[in-house]
Amino acid sequence: MSADPIQRIVDEIDRAADEIVRFTADLVRIPTVNPPGADYEPCARLLGDSLARRGFDVEYIVATERPEHTLRHPRVNVIGTRRGDARGAVVHLNGHIDVVPAGDGWTVDPFGGLVRDGKIFGRGVCDMKAGIAAAVFAAEAIQRAGVHVPGTIEISGTVDEESGGFAGVAWLCKSGRIARTRTDYVIIPEPLNVDRICVGHRGVYWSELTTRGRVAHGSMPFLGVSAIDAMTEVLAAIRRELLPVLESRVTTMPVVPAGARHATINVNAIDGGQPLDGIQTPCVADRCRAIFDRRFLIEEGFAAAKDELEALIRRTLGATGVEYELRDLMVVDPVLTPQDSPVVRALDGAIRRVLGTAPTVIASPGTYDHKHVARIAGIPHCVAYGPGELELAHQPDEYCRVEDLINATKVLALATLDLMSRAID
Ligand SMILES: [Zn+2]
């Protein structure tokens, strides 16, 4: 047995490699598909039972007041707590247990938990059941190594991240279970590659534009006002006027891929006139709706992004006499953890030790549960770090390399140990 506690932890993780792979595959075999939010309870129980066996106090927190919680698809979250030295910090490792639907194109069973050629296959294995297994065995290795545990480790499995996390992490933050007063550091083992630390994400502004025209006989369209034509004017103006401006803006946040370092807008959906599959009658469309997904930069801010879109629509439709309405559907402000945060420094040190390379600090193009930790719980020290490649998430034949899983487990263990022993400000 090595005299160096860090080496003992690393050795324990190498010894546990088969167990870690098996636990990951067991999680994958529970098809926690969202929507609709299937099998959350058995998956939360599998994680909770595993934590209980490892000396954690386990709580199940059900988001009973959320509309998406139903008897058929209960929103069951699980948290385990293992207390060491009460003077140390509380480190919370959070993973979402939900996975997106398998979709087409698989050559293996998406819920079979197949392990082949050094890879574990399955829907949600990289996003992010491997990350949950890494968190569990990071804590377990600290225990097995017999080192002094300088603080408290919490591990949670939460629901619905893929659909916004309102019954999951947001619920735990709203109920005060994850809070600035009791939680010092949060690491979310999302699949962002084993040598990258993710410090935040851009903002999200979803809106719905409705244009209202005037119905007329389709043989005499000049007697009506087409809501679809009005919408196409707006879409054209977005392409002609807004896109070049958005493209010219670059954030200082280290967003990857580089294309997402700019502000962007996407048309999510469009619907107008008569139902496409219904019987058609000759009518000018008196109604059209589109949904916009605008990703704004921390330097822009929400108010300016919204004003800009509103002004463009006003300029385009103002003189036409077409009535319109712009409605906000969802706003998520950007989040950014400072690069000198202890949680970044602890992971940086652990990555150097385990991988022998300097990590890359990145920000995510899309949003994840970090927003709830930052905005609702008010915890400044939160990052995402975990095994698996971001590009494989939500793809057919999703897999996680066993080597990445083991390395990420080591990094999480060393970073957690380091953070627990840090003085709390
Ligand atoms: Zn995820």
Residue 424 reports pLDDT greater than 80: no
Ligand 1: centre distance to CA 405 (Å)? 15
The two tokens of residue 258 are: 């580089």
The 3-state DSSP class for residue 55 equals coil
Please tell me the total number of residues recorded for the chain in this structure: 425
Q: State mean pLDDT over 289-310.
A: 98
How much of the chain, in percent, has pLDDT values that exceed 90? Answer: 95
pLDDT of residue 425: 52
The 3-state DSSP class for residue 23 equals helix
pLDDT of residue 367: 92
Beta bridge partners of 270: 290
Question: 278 to each of 219, 220, 231, how far by Cα in Å?
Answer: 19, 21, 21
Backbone angles phi, psi at 35, to 5 degrees: -70, 155
The secondary structure of residue 33, as a DSSP letter, is: B
Ligand 1: centre distance to CA 137 (Å)? 19
Helices (H), 159-289: 169-174, 227-237, 243-248
Ligand 1: centre distance to CA 194 (Å)? 15
pLDDT of residue 422: 83
Ligand 1: centre distance to CA 73 (Å)? 20
Cβ pair 273, 285 in contact under 8 A: yes
Q: State mean pLDDT over 347-353.
A: 98
Residue 423 reports pLDDT greater than 70: no
Ligand 1: centre distance to CA 187 (Å)? 13
Residues 143-194: tens digit of each pLDDT: 999 999 999 999 999 999 999 999 999 999 999 999 999 999 999 999 999 9
Residues 87-105: tens digit of each pLDDT: 999 999 999 999 999 999 9
Q: With residue 90 as reference, give the H or E element that holds it.
A: strand 90-96
Ligand 1: centre distance to CA 191 (Å)? 7
Ligand 1: centre distance to CA 130 (Å)? 11
Ligand 1: centre distance to CA 276 (Å)? 34
**Type of residue numbered 4:** D
The two tokens of residue 128 are: 């992010």
Ligand 1: centre distance to CA 147 (Å)? 31
Cβ pair 155, 162 in contact under 8 A: no
pLDDT of residue 333: 95
pLDDT of residue 355: 98
CA nearest neighbour of 19 among 416, 420, 380, 406: 406
User: Using H for helix, E for strand and C for coil, what is the string for 340-379?
Assistant: CCHHHHHHHHHHHHHHCCCCEEEEECCCCCHHHHHHCCCC
The two tokens of residue 10 are: 């690393």
Ligand 1: centre distance to CA 390 (Å)? 9
Backbone angles phi, psi at 361, to 5 degrees: -90, 125
CB atoms within 10 A of CB 302: 17
Q: State mean pLDDT over 393-416.
A: 97
Backbone angles phi, psi at 130, to 5 degrees: -65, -40
The two tokens of residue 13 are: 């993780």
Ligand 1: centre distance to CA 122 (Å)? 14
d(CA 393, CA 371): 20
d(CA 159, CA 75): 6
Q: State mean pLDDT over 51-74.
A: 97
Ligand 1: centre distance to CA 152 (Å)? 25
pLDDT band at 110 (very low <50, low <70, confident <90, very high): very high
Q: State mean pLDDT over 329-344.
A: 96
Ligand 1: centre distance to CA 82 (Å)? 25
pLDDT of residue 319: 82
Residues 212-223: tens digit of each pLDDT: 999 999 999 999
Ligand 1: centre distance to CA 170 (Å)? 15
d(CA 323, CA 247): 29
The 3-state DSSP class for residue 416 equals helix
pLDDT band at 391 (very low <50, low <70, confident <90, very high): confident
Ligand 1: centre distance to CA 161 (Å)? 7
Residue 43 reports pLDDT greater than 70: yes
Ligand 1: centre distance to CA 388 (Å)? 10
253-268: b (≥16 Cβ within 10 Å) or e: bbbbeeebbbbbbeee
